[in-house]
Amino acid sequence: MLTGNGLRIGYGGRTVVEGAGIRLRAGEVTVLLGPNGSGKSTLLRTLARLHRADGGTVVLEDEVDALGLPAREFARQVTLLPQSRPAPVGVTVRDVVGYGRHPYRGRWRGGDPDGARAIERAMRVTGVAGMAERPVDELSGGEAQRVWLAACLAQDTGVVLLDEPTTFLDLRYQIEILDLMRELATEHGVAVGVVLHDLNQAAAVADHVVLLSGGAVAAAGTPAEVLTSERLTAAYGIRVEVEVRGGAGQVTCRPVGRLVSAGY
């Protein structure tokens, strides 16, 4: 479990997230939602120690100060797939996926007996095994996205953080990435925290939703509790219709633009 409490985060003296709290539980998918500039990615980067918090705490398993752990130890427990990643020239897919094993390796890339198995599994489940020897800089944006996700999975951590992982992917791989997140949580007990923009994808995959607006947590809870028409309309500044169907309470969201409202 990874928990952020009372987090205050800023850039250049300007606070962009104030008093945010979030708990990522083992075996569950937590989705961060909100309009652009609401602080979703900033909060995720702070949980991953890529952005310094000006206040608050980040704790692993209720007692370990995550911000005080040595970098290598932290990287064995938490990994992040950021929005943007480099495209190293001439480096193969297999080698990029192998970057995820860095926290387990000693000097000269030794001391990692589980490395080969972890790399092969990560490539297989993300669908990139067939391109293992291809240079990453020759791949499409969607293919490269899956390669970097494989590198995160190869890191073999208990907490996986994903910042807009379906960006650049076609419909098939968007759904496969959502299925993979669900599998990591349900079958492997991983705590998954993910930033998404698609409200219906969030409703389909999330156990918990954290809705941010204006740098603060506007609501947190199950999809049915958080994804209401009133909350979403207030957060996004556009009317959002919400329908809850069936005994499982599946939520469907429908943003309504000006032309739709006018009958076009």
**Positive or negative: CA dihedral 200, 202, 82, 212:** positive
Contact indicator for 123, 150 with CB cutoff of 8 Å: yes
Query: pLDDT class for 170, splitting at 50, 70, 90?
Result: confident
At residue 259, the pLDDT reads 62
CATH-assigned architecture of domain 2-222 = 3-Layer(aba) Sandwich (3.40)
Cα–Cα dist 71/57, whole Å: 17
At residue 122, the 3 state secondary structure works out as: helix
Contacts of 124 (CB under 8 A, 6+ apart): none
Which of 94-98, 163-167, 220-224, 254-258 is the least confident region?
254-258
* Report for 14-18, 112-116, 194-198: range of highest mean pLDDT: 194-198
At residue 263, the pLDDT reads 59
Give the Å distances, CA to CA, from 259 to 27, 169, 177, 233: 42, 28, 32, 17
The pLDDT tens digits for 181-214 are 998 899 889 999 999 999 999 999 999 999 999 8
Cα–Cα dist 111/140, whole Å: 33
User: What value does the mean pLDDT take over residues 148-161?
Assistant: 92
- pLDDT of residue 114 exceeding 60, the answer is yes
Q: Which residue has the tokens 């609501």?
A: 219
At residue 264, the pLDDT reads 52
- pLDDT of residue 132 exceeding 70, the answer is yes
Query: Residue ranges of the domains in the chain?
Result: 2-222
- pLDDT of residue 50 exceeding 80, the answer is yes
The pLDDT tens digits for 56-65 are 999 998 778 8
The pLDDT tens digits for 67-102 are 888 998 999 999 999 887 777 888 999 999 999 998
